[in-house]
């Protein structure tokens, strides 16, 4: 007998659907209900003035009002791929990052909360006359690792459990009407993308120490670099000179086309920024970006490019937007009346032709407009069109860029960047693959982050080992060591306060890695998790025993290797693999429940004993570790 993960009712082994609630009984997930430790961002929103409303309105009207609001909440939260976890009368709890993590879950949650606040304000036009007073909403947001929810207790589903949940609820209580408050972890992850106000530390119920609280005012119009420590630019000489060569080609009349590819945090954006800062001032630079939350919005990256170029803000009213578009385009091209309509439609401005026109034809017209603008700019001087993070681009954007790529005019350099899971196959494109920083560059980066030539050796070794030379990971760990006082000032230099904690992973890094692991197929994810129990390095034979000798293991490992999550460390005499980043192993391992970890450690110990018995001495310590973990 099995249990249904939705309602907890028992189900016959051969059943495909639950006889009680008709939920599908998927074998893979049903064997053990999916329960994990994972990093999520949660918000609680509560209606202010609920009591007053209850006094003045008939209960049915109250229900109507509340339902309208929570319907909107459902739409908004769903659009950011979060889910409403609970509705408690006048409060709602939304979770982002479960069952699938996105590296921008904290931003998604905050965006959704702001939108919900705006929606409630909008609904007031209708509600206020009925209730006699405006209704409001207040919200608390927090990020952290929780135990996910598919536990069934007495037939009831519990919500996710963890400190982050309590904190969000406390912050919501602290918030005044209209306020969105965030805790320290969320703040860290969203800094630079939202307009924040520091509210200092507050004593919150259930918290031993005062908690740093910030209020979110709005989305910052365009991304601003957070006020964190950024290091001096290191290495990347070859890459810069290649970019310069291509620019030269473009100047001489051949349109050029370069893509920078590399994993998250490898330095794609920074390389392009540095390239830009070294350009002569006669070049025009246009830039747009794709965002993970906008993968379903057609032409989002193209819209972003235009918005950046014309100074259009997300917060602009449609009237302002129309004026900016009309004036901006008229300042570039002469025949703006032909060029403008598809752009107005792109921004969904009322009065433009609407959606009746079919998609093919629209794409053609948009392409023409974009090309005309680029051509005019390129005729005046060197034009660089930079599009970032194409791995997140919606299909229509990619499609438009492919078409555009074949029709570039002279003196145009097109620059793309994306992660290795994406590729822009198109004739004539040069791809720069960003490798990890060398040990020397890593050391130099750390020195500049600490603003001190004296860098403790153990710190550099710790960072090299954990980050594999990924500059983003280096930066995040150094910043978090300083914030958490793992590194302390000592005269001009720094010293470790204690041994570095190899189990602590900064929120931002965990977000990136967990999102990557979640994108893997279930089978691959399982391999990663099982391997993580063995250690940073793992022998094929041991893993194969732990996995139950599955025939698909080799194939799975090959795929993980080509995804650059693991690497072959040794082939002879034993096939051995290694997690590219110790951090990946750490995040995968920490996603396992303690119970599951123990079980896997036991299996690893037994497999080691069986297979490596004759090399006992070499492995004795490791076997003992697994037996006791």
Ligand X SMILES: Nc1ncnc2c1ncn2[C@@H]1O[C@H](COP(=O)(O)OP(=O)(O)O)[C@@H](O)[C@H]1O
Question: Would you tell me which residues interact with ligand X (CB under 6 A)?
Answer: 230-231, 233-236, 262, 264-270, 445, 471-472, 475
Three-state SS for 485? coil
Q: Which does 70 bind (CB under 5 to 8 A by kind): ligand X, Mg ion, none?
A: none
d(CA 255, CA 413): 6
d(CA 67, CA 262): 46
* CA end-to-end distance (rounded Å), the chain: 31
Residue closer to Mg ion (CB basis): 392 or 589:
392
Q: Answer yes or no: are the C-beta atoms of 183 and 210 closer than 8 Å.
A: no
Residue closer to ligand X (CB basis): 271 or 543:
271
Count residues contacting Mg ion (CB under 5 A)?
A: 1
Interaction of residue 269 with Mg ion, rule CB under 5 A: yes
Q: Answer yes or no: are the C-beta atoms of 583 and 466 closer than 8 Å.
A: yes
Residue closer to Mg ion (CB basis): 140 or 471:
471
Q: How far is the CB of 483 from ligand X (least distance, A)?
A: 16
Residue closer to ligand X (CB basis): 62 or 272:
272
Q: Which does 443 bind (CB under 5 to 8 A by kind): ligand X, Mg ion, none?
A: none
Q: Which does 138 bind (CB under 5 to 8 A by kind): ligand X, Mg ion, none?
A: none
Q: Answer yes or no: are the C-beta atoms of 168 and 205 closer than 8 Å.
A: no
Q: How far is the CB of 367 from ligand X (least distance, A)?
A: 27
Q: How far is the CB of 6 from ligand X (least distance, A)?
A: 38
Backbone angles phi, psi at 174, to 5 degrees: -70, -30
Q: Which does 262 bind (CB under 5 to 8 A by kind): Mg ion, ligand X, none?
A: ligand X
Residue closer to ligand X (CB basis): 183 or 262:
262
Interacting residues of 554 by C-beta distance below 8 A, sequence separation 6+? none
Q: Which residue has the tokens 């937007």?
A: 321
Q: Which does 230 bind (CB under 5 to 8 A by kind): Mg ion, ligand X, none?
A: ligand X
Other beta carbons within 10 angstroms of residue 382's beta carbon come to: 20
Q: How far is the CB of 476 from ligand X (least distance, A)?
A: 8
Q: How far is the CB of 123 from ligand X (least distance, A)?
A: 39
Length of the chain: 629
Q: How far is the CB of 266 from Mg ion (least distance, A)?
A: 9
Q: How far is the CB of 267 from ligand X (least distance, A)?
A: 3
Q: Answer yes or no: are the C-beta atoms of 291 and 389 closer than 8 Å.
A: yes
- Which range binds Mg ion by CB under 5 A, 10-18, 34-42, 72-80, 262-270? 262-270
Q: Answer yes or no: are the C-beta atoms of 298 and 338 closer than 8 Å.
A: no
The helix (run of H) or strand (run of E) holding residue 194 is strand 194-202
- Going from the C-alpha of 184 to that of each of 168, 196, 214, the distances in angstroms are 11, 12, 8
Q: How far is the CB of 386 from ligand X (least distance, A)?
A: 12
Residue closer to Mg ion (CB basis): 414 or 539:
414
Interaction of residue 230 with Mg ion, rule CB under 5 A: no
Angle among Cα 536, 540, 544 to the nearest 5 degrees reads: 110
Q: Which does 445 bind (CB under 5 to 8 A by kind): Mg ion, ligand X, none?
A: ligand X
Residue closer to Mg ion (CB basis): 166 or 269:
269
DSSP class of residue 178 equals: T
Tokens of residue 143, six digits: 């990020």
- Select the residue whose beta carbon is closest to ligand X and give its number: 267
Q: How far is the CB of 613 from Mg ion (least distance, A)?
A: 49
CB neighbour burial string for 198-208, b if at least 16 within 10 angstroms, e if fewer: eeeeeebeeee
- Select the residue whose beta carbon is closest to Mg ion and give its number: 269
Q: How far is the CB of 287 from ligand X (least distance, A)?
A: 13
- Which range binds Mg ion by CB under 5 A, 263-271, 343-351, 517-525, 541-549? 263-271
The whole-angstrom distance between residue 611's C-alpha and the CA centroid of its chain comes to 40
Residue closer to ligand X (CB basis): 386 or 587:
386
Q: Which does 82 bind (CB under 5 to 8 A by kind): Mg ion, ligand X, none?
A: none
SS3 readout for 253-317: CCCEEEEEECCCCCCHHHHHHHHHHCCCCCCEEEEEECCHHHCCCCCHHHHHHHHHHHCCCCCCC
Cis (ω within 30 of 0) for the bond into 360?
no
Residue closer to Mg ion (CB basis): 269 or 352:
269
Q: Which does 103 bind (CB under 5 to 8 A by kind): ligand X, Mg ion, none?
A: none
Residue closer to Mg ion (CB basis): 254 or 269:
269
Residue closer to Mg ion (CB basis): 510 or 536:
510
Interaction of residue 32 with Mg ion, rule CB under 5 A: no
Residue closer to ligand X (CB basis): 433 or 595:
433
Tokens of residue 5, six digits: 């993960």
Q: For residue 385, with 0-12 CB atoms within 10 Å meaning exposed, 13-18 middle and 19 or more buried, which class applies?
A: buried
Interacting residues of 487 by C-beta distance below 8 A, sequence separation 6+? 450, 459, 478, 481, 494, 495, 496, 497
Q: Which does 538 bind (CB under 5 to 8 A by kind): ligand X, Mg ion, none?
A: none
Q: Which does 265 bind (CB under 5 to 8 A by kind): ligand X, Mg ion, none?
A: ligand X
- Going from the C-alpha of 248 to that of each of 396, 429, 432, the distances in angstroms are 30, 15, 17
d(CA 80, CA 475): 28
Residues that bind Mg ion (CB under 5 A): 269
């Amino acid at each position: 007998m099995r249990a249904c993960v939705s309602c907890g009712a028992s189900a016959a082994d051969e059943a495909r659907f639950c006889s009680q609630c008709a939920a599908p009984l998927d074998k893979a997930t049903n064997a053990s209900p999916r329960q994990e430790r994972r990093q999520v961002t949660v918000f609680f929103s509560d209606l202010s003035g609920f009591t007053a409303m209850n006094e003045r309105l008939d209960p049915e009207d109250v229900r109507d009002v509340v339902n309208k609001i929570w319907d909107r909440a459902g739409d908004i939260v769903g659009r950011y791929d979060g889910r409403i976890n609970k509705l408690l009368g006048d409060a709602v709890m939304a979770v982002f990052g479960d069952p699938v993590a996105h590296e921008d879950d904290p931003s998604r949650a905050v965006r959704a909360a702001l939108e919900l606040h705006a929606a409630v304000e909008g609904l007031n036009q209708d509600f206020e006359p009925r209730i006699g007073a405006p209704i409001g909403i207040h919200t608390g947001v927090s990020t952290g690792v929780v135990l996910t929810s598919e536990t069934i207790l007495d037939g009831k589903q519990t919500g996710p459990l963890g400190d982050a949940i309590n904190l969000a609820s406390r912050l919501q209580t602290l918030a005044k009407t209209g306020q969105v408050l965030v805790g320290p972890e969320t703040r860290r992850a969203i800094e630079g993308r939202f307009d924040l106000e520091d509210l200092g530390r507050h004593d919150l119920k259930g918290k031993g120490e005062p908690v740093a609280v910030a209020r979110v005012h709005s989305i910052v119009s365009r991304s601003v670099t957070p006020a964190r420590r950024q290091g001096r630019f290191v290495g990347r000489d070859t890459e810069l000179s290649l970019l310069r060569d291509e620019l030269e080609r473009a100047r001489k009349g051949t349109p050029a086309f370069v893509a920078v590819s590399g994993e998250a945090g490898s330095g794609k954006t920074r390389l392009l920024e540095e390239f830009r800062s070294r350009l002569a001032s006669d070049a025009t630079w246009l830039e747009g970006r794709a965002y993970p939350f906008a993968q379903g919005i057609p032409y989002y990256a193209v819209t972003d490019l235009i918005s950046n170029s014309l100074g259009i803000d997300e917060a602009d009213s449609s009237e302002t937007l129309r004026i900016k578009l009309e004036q901006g385009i008229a300042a570039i091209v002469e025949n703006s009346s032909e060029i403008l309509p598809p752009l107005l439609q792109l921004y969904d401005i009322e009065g433009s032709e609407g959606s009746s026109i079919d998609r093919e034809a629209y794409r053609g017209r948009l392409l023409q407009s974009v090309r005309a603008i680029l051509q005019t700019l390129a005729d005046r001087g060197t034009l660089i069109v930079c599009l970032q993070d194409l791995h997140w681009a919606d299909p229509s954007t990619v499609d438009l860029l492919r078409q555009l790529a074949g029709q570039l005019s002279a003196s145009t350099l097109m620059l793309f960047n994306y992660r290795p899971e994406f590729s822009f196959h198109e004739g004539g494109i040069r791809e720069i693959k960003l490798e990890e920083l060398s040990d020397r560059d890593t050391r130099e980066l750390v020195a500049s982050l600490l603003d001190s030539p004296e860098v403790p050796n153990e710190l550099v070794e710790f960072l090299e080992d954990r980050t594999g030379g990924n500059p983003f990971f280096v930066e995040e760990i150094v910043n978090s060591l300083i914030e958490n006082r793992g590194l302390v000032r000592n005269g001009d230099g720094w010293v470790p306060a204690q041994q570095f904690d190899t189990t602590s992973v900064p929120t931002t890094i965990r977000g990136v890695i967990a999102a990557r692991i979640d994108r893997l197929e279930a089978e691959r994810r399982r391999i990663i998790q099982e391997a993580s129990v063995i250690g940073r390095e793992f022998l094929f034979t041991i893993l194969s025993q732990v996995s139950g000798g599955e025939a698909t293991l080799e194939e799975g490992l090959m795929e993980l290797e080509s995804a650059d999550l693991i690497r072959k460390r040794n082939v002879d005499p034993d096939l051995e693999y290694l997690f590219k980043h110790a951090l990946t192993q750490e995040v995968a391992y920490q996603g396992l429940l303690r119970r599951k970890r123990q079980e896997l450690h036991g299996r690893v110990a037994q497999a080691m004993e069986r297979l490596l018995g004759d090399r006992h001495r070499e492995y004795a310590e490791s076997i003992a570790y697994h037996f006791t973990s």
